[in-house]
Amino acid sequence: MRSPVTGIVTLILLLIAAVIAYSSVFTVDQTEQALVVRLGDPVDVVTDAGLHFKAPFIDTVIPVDKRILDLENPSQEVIASDQKRLVVDAFARYRIKNALRFYQSVGSIQAANIQLTTLLNASLRRVLGEVTFIQVVRDEREALMARIRDQLDKEADAYGIQVVDVRIRRADLPEQNSQAVYQRMQTERQREAAEFRAQGAQKAQEIKSNADRESTVIVAEANSTAEQVRGEGDGERNRLFAEAYGKDPDFFAFYRSMTAYENGLKNGDTRFLLQPDSDFFKYFGSPSGKPQAAPGIAAASPAAPKP
């Protein structure tokens, strides 16, 4: 029969073997790489995901993230080459390409972020300080971000880090400078608007003056033509009257008297201050307009011809 001591020893050995076996393996996730450290000294870097072996109890496994990591940089004030102050808000993307160098230089992602922030700010000041404000905000923004990324990547290589991308989210004037620029732009636009209004008023005055001048010329020409036509009409009328007078002077005198009666005897006012024997009333006494002989007086006979 097996003694109880033997069973206990066997159980203890099995437990020790299980602990040793558990301490001899480790797993690496797909998003990580592992650094194996033995008594403080790095001995291996594992980049493949899966189950791996290590020396039990003396080896320590340090996981290191191999994904692309974010670096959010706080806004910094940078002076461009034209002495314009800029508030630059930038960020970077990086990954750990050498876990051993990363562990030996910075040791953790938090420490790496601090170091990269310092390097990024220095690179921003160095690159943007060589160009003008217009080049930063409009003309060469893409090229400048590429230069900053290359410089930061070169400096970060000493820490086992590869900089994937650097982007300038915002590059603008400080708030007080922006307000001054907006005020200056507003003043300039108001000046341009006033200039346009003045030019419009001047153009309107020129158009109005030309229209008035043309209107005056047209009216004067029309009046001249009217006077000419009226004069021709009056001349033609006088000619016709002269012809009529030459053909029948009595009728012409009668017509003139009738016209004078029509113009003088208005409705409601027929008063005249004239002598009764005036020529104006000669047709009132006789239709022929000739004076009538006094009663009892015979008309004078024509004189007999002299022998």
Q: Which tokens belong to 184?
A: 């200056």
At residue 153, does pLDDT exceed 60? Answer: yes
Q: Is 80 left (phi over 0), alpha (psi -120 to 50) or beta?
A: beta
Which residues on neighbouring strands pair with residue 227, listed in sequence order? none
Q: What angle do CA 146, 157, 45 make, to 5 degrees?
A: 135
Residue 170: CB atoms within 10 A of its CB come to 11
The closest of 59, 88, 58 to 73, measured between CA atoms, is 88
The stretch 275-304 carries a mean pLDDT of 55
The stretch 213-242 carries a mean pLDDT of 88
**Residue 146 has what pLDDT?**
93
**Residue 288 has what pLDDT?**
60
At residue 290, does pLDDT exceed 80? Answer: no
Residue type, 260: A
Q: Which of the two residues, 167 and 39, has the higher pLDDT score?
A: 167
**Residue 295 has what pLDDT?**
45
pLDDT band at 156 (very low <50, low <70, confident <90, very high): very high
pLDDT band at 256 (very low <50, low <70, confident <90, very high): confident
At residue 289, does pLDDT exceed 70? Answer: no
**Residue 234 has what pLDDT?**
86
The closest of 174, 168, 173, 172 to 90, measured between CA atoms, is 168
At residue 302, does pLDDT exceed 50? Answer: no
Q: Phi, psi (5° rounding) for residue 152?
A: -65, -40
State how far the Cα of 45 lies from the Cα of 31, in Å rounded to an integer: 14
**Residue 43 has what pLDDT?**
83
pLDDT band at 93 (very low <50, low <70, confident <90, very high): very high
**CB of 107 within 8 A of CB of 101?**
no
Rounded alpha-carbon distances, angstroms, from residue 215 to 200, 208, 220, 222, 228: 22, 10, 8, 10, 20
**Residue 301 has what pLDDT?**
40
